[in-house]
Structure 1
């Protein structure tokens, strides 16, 4: 196939820290996942204002300059596909240098309604929106996020929008909002699942799993709602003492963003809660929760093949590919227990056991429902989920974007 050229951009370490560990995470991430406890946080101080100007703005400018140089080398009419919340300011800056560029920006996390953005001071908020509106297309995983984006442009910026066509008018330009649910590569995952390493892990897992295996696979991010998931499991064991010694909750958790204080505190809280649940319910030869903080993907794939229940209960998530990986690979008629606020619920929710991410008792009851569901019903649900993932794979996700980019780019050029 065609060769790819990678260009790295060197960043000032202090600017990179402000860009990533103050503004991108936690400030923007927490806004877009509804994680701030607004009575107490965030406080927008001179620290955040400085981090925005001398971190987020400066890094976006550095990247925009590098992209613009590449576009100019191609005659100024290249297509640029920007990824995610770290680079909201970049498109406007690229367009300022390259007015004939075609820009598509994929936002991989949820886009909340207008009031969530009022956490940010108006100058920062307006700068972020204006940056994104430098694109020709702003893309999301979900229709609801695309709709929220369009409505935010109307409510917060006073721009003319078309909710039928999902467009925003910016001067003499039209910006389109689109949605494309991301997915996985079934062939690659199934090749991994067929490897000897996975088979060895699967044998070891079967020796210690007990009658039932509940699984979760996550980064230690507050948006993943790990604490409430373990509290729900604690409640399940309280409500159904006959399950003590018979069900094991295996949690593969990848420590995440350890330079951000909120993430360090969250991991500490997880470790304490797991210790409490294991002390409360554990026996001499059984531990209710097995916590794994080392990521071995072969072992995770073995667990995907073996679970009885896969718990995916985020507070909010743009998509959550764990849900798709799990139902694709499972060989045990496993049940997906999926938060109604996970992006994957839009596709898989009909065949999952739905979780309400804030209701501990409901999640405990849903786990019990999933564990005690009849074999035929479990099999039917799993097959339906797996078929959806196969049909809507990552190749289709990319192809649909590229088809739209080609179509919209051509329409724009004819309009010029």
Structure 2
């Protein structure tokens, strides 16, 4: 019958505090463990006020609206909540609608308990108590689910069961589950054959040398872009025979440039690219082709053509670029994948492993990927693509809905 969309109006100042101070960068940096701890963060009155007058206020407003919809549905409804913006909402909704079933998917990493000690109890405890209002808290990996349970035990003193992946709170059982998000291979495949992608493909092919290394990312510090370029610099130092034969194409989407840390990181990217190109470039060859723009058709065209895809994130909830690229690549391209991405749990066995802080190792891994034999390249690529096609976005959603149905049926039979 279609979907109904209800918009929620928020005070502009409260929304700015909610989003630009607490959600980004504070929670994002905590959960990706990006803070340089000797220097940041400094939690001042500004952050405390932003939490109370922004994050808490906006969560309350959304909770009111969700509760109204649950009550209109008779109270016994299923609500699926997404991401780090709404950690307080579940407990607020449950307080008003005790019969509701709440399922919360967290799309970013959930770190080990000590990472949360960067926040004072006045912030971290409401976050944990809020998300424990759910019946199911879902993550991309088993590791993130385990970290969540350990945090409940260490920071709140709650009883957990790691084998059953559950925690007891206020007489209820909350489950922690892993459902690795995925893509729609059919939709992506259709786009890969479009006229627009074909035009980009021809343009990129005309510029390529013998080898093409690719990365497609947002200019987010967690993506580890600067270290990736430093590794490429070391690769060219160690293998002068690659001079003028390999290009590193970087398709980067500027992200959150209103946040100081992101703007500074984008400038760091520009500087390291300029340094590498000045050091190694020639009159008709620039080792790094940096494109700071958002163009999905161009990205898909590059997926078709890469010889090596570099994903060296410091930490990533999943990283769908890795899944998208392996499905449509036509050159038996090799995936070079950080062990600290969520995608590694599924695709690591098909990839060349990258250790995100070891620039020397990343340079060696790039060389291994570039020189891998054709048979091994073909096998790895085919197996990775087959895995993603089988475990697509429909399977991701279907697994969650099946578990919700089972858990709700079990609750009714024991209720």
Residues 179-224 of structure 1: per-residue CA shift (max 9 Å, x gap):
0000000000000001111112111111111000000000010000
Query: Which residue in 2 is equivalent to 1:335?
Result: 334
Taking the aligned partners of 2:136 and 2:21, their CA distance within structure 1 comes to 27
Residues 69-90 of structure 1: per-residue CA shift (max 9 Å, x gap):
1111001111000000010000
Q: Give the deviation of 1:297 after TM superposition.
A: 1.1
Taking the aligned partners of 1:259 and 1:52, their CA distance within structure 2 comes to 19
Taking the aligned partners of 1:315 and 1:12, their CA distance within structure 2 comes to 35
Matches within 5 A, 1:115-154: 115-154=114-153
Taking the aligned partners of 1:145 and 1:336, their CA distance within structure 2 comes to 23
Q: Give the deviation of 1:414 after TM superposition.
A: 2.4
Taking the aligned partners of 2:413 and 2:259, their CA distance within structure 1 comes to 47
Tell me if 1:76 matches 2:75.
yes
Q: Give the deviation of 1:19 after TM superposition.
A: 0.6
Query: Which residue in 1 is equivalent to 2:294?
Result: 295
Taking the aligned partners of 1:338 and 1:23, their CA distance within structure 2 comes to 30
Deviates more, 1:394-403 or 1:31-40: 31-40
Taking the aligned partners of 1:264 and 1:390, their CA distance within structure 2 comes to 36
Q: Give the deviation of 1:279 after TM superposition.
A: 1.0
Taking the aligned partners of 1:68 and 1:371, their CA distance within structure 2 comes to 54
Taking the aligned partners of 2:237 and 2:12, their CA distance within structure 1 comes to 49
Q: Give the deviation of 1:415 after TM superposition.
A: 2.4
Taking the aligned partners of 1:129 and 1:35, their CA distance within structure 2 comes to 20
Structure 2 SS opposite 1:41: coil
Query: Which residue in 1 is equivalent to 2:406?
Result: 407
Taking the aligned partners of 1:414 and 1:47, their CA distance within structure 2 comes to 49
Taking the aligned partners of 1:12 and 1:245, their CA distance within structure 2 comes to 55
Taking the aligned partners of 1:103 and 1:248, their CA distance within structure 2 comes to 48
Matches within 5 A, 1:20-169: 20-169=19-168
Tell me if 1:251 matches 2:250.
yes
Structure 2 SS opposite 1:215: strand
Query: Which residue in 2 is equivalent to 1:397?
Result: 396
The 4+ residue runs of structure 1 with deviation greater than 4 A are none
Tell me if 1:194 matches 2:193.
yes
Query: Which residue in 2 is equivalent to 1:387?
Result: 386
Taking the aligned partners of 2:345 and 2:161, their CA distance within structure 1 comes to 23
- What is the root-mean-square deviation in Å for CA atoms of aligned residues? 0.7
Q: Give the deviation of 1:398 after TM superposition.
A: 0.1
Query: Which residue in 2 is equivalent to 1:216?
Result: 215
Residues 117-155 of structure 1: per-residue CA shift (max 9 Å, x gap):
000001211100000000000000000010111111011
Residues 22-60 of structure 1: per-residue CA shift (max 9 Å, x gap):
111111111111101111111111111001000100011
Structure 1 SS opposite 2:270: helix
Structure 1 SS opposite 2:180: coil
Structure 1 SS opposite 2:283: coil
Taking the aligned partners of 2:52 and 2:410, their CA distance within structure 1 comes to 36
Matches within 5 A, 1:329-368: 329-368=328-367
Query: Which residue in 2 is equivalent to 1:278?
Result: 277
Q: Give the deviation of 1:413 after TM superposition.
A: 2.3
Taking the aligned partners of 1:173 and 1:5, their CA distance within structure 2 comes to 31
Query: Which residue in 2 is equivalent to 1:15?
Result: 14
Where does structure 2 lack aligned partners over 5 or more consecutive residues? none
Matches within 5 A, 1:259-270: 259-270=258-269
Structure 2 SS opposite 1:99: coil
Q: Give the deviation of 1:177 after TM superposition.
A: 0.3
Query: Which residue in 2 is equivalent to 1:305?
Result: 304
Deviates more, 1:288-297 or 1:131-140: 288-297
Taking the aligned partners of 1:396 and 1:382, their CA distance within structure 2 comes to 21
Taking the aligned partners of 1:12 and 1:292, their CA distance within structure 2 comes to 36
Where does structure 1 lack aligned partners over 5 or more consecutive residues? none
Structure 2 SS opposite 1:39: coil
